[in-house]
Amino acid sequence: ALCALRRSCCLVNPFLKILLFQLLGLSIATLSTVTHYGLHFTLISNISLESNSYRVIHHAAFYFGICLSMTLILAALLSSAATVRESPCLTAGGFFCFALAFWGLIPAACWRYTHSTEVEDSMMDVYDLVYEEVRRNTSSFRRHELTAIHEAFLCCGKHSPFGDTANVESKTCPPGPARDAGQDCLQEIQDFLKKHMDFISTILGVTIGFTV
């Protein structure tokens, strides 16, 4: 009975770690799904031109996040089976999956800090393009797209050096506090993306730490 109690106590700690990795994998999968299918991101992706890099980043981040989450979950499942069966093969498979996850997490973390401004600039370029086309009255369809951006980000127009923005904002800004306060959409996009990127950095940091 004492040996069985010791064995069960030894299994508790590994199973807690395995459960933690499963939760981290599910968190990364959820974050990737929100990033790909969230209103703010899909709206910008659908509007962006082929020459804009945002659409490529948008899809690449989703598929990379899903693959990474599946690798972590698989590693946790293999480790769980290896703990129960005491199988060297399953243990080796679990460590291999953890190694793959680690070598995926490190480039992702580095890319987050070296290319963060690229995502921000590409999103704001999309807004600038739509805004200027509406200001020049070159496309009525763009007016609907600009209105959708204003409603999604709860903002209204931008500070343009060319002036003549009141007409654009009166037609595309939904009534509410954002319109009354004249909240700059470029600043709102920047703030929204910063919060999202900070959350991604936290998830990546925690996952890297526990993987090590």
Instruction: Give the mean model confidence (pLDDT) for residues 62-88.
Output: 86
Mean pLDDT (the chain) is 81
Residue 67 banded pLDDT, cuts 50, 70, 90? very high
Give the tens place of pLDDT for each residue, 82-105.
Answer: 777 777 888 888 888 888 988 988
Give the tens place of pLDDT for each residue, 141-153.
Answer: 888 888 899 888 9
Q: Which two tokens stand for residue 178?
A: 């954002």
- pTM as predicted: 0.80
Give the tens place of pLDDT for each residue, 104-113.
Answer: 889 888 888 8
Q: What percent of the chain has pLDDT over 90?
A: 17
Q: What percent of the chain has pLDDT over 70?
A: 85
Instruction: Give the mean model confidence (pLDDT) for residues 149-172.
Output: 73
Q: Provide the CA 118 distance to its chain's centre, in angstroms.
A: 14
A 10 A CB-CB count for 47 gives: 19
Give the tens place of pLDDT for each residue, 185-211.
Answer: 898 999 999 999 898 889 888 888 888
**How confident is the model at residue 139, as a pLDDT?**
61
Residue ranges covered by each domain of the chain: 14-121
Q: Are 159 and 127 in contact (CB under 8 A)?
A: no
Q: Report d(CA 154, CA 145) in Å as an integer.
A: 14
Residue 161 banded pLDDT, cuts 50, 70, 90? low
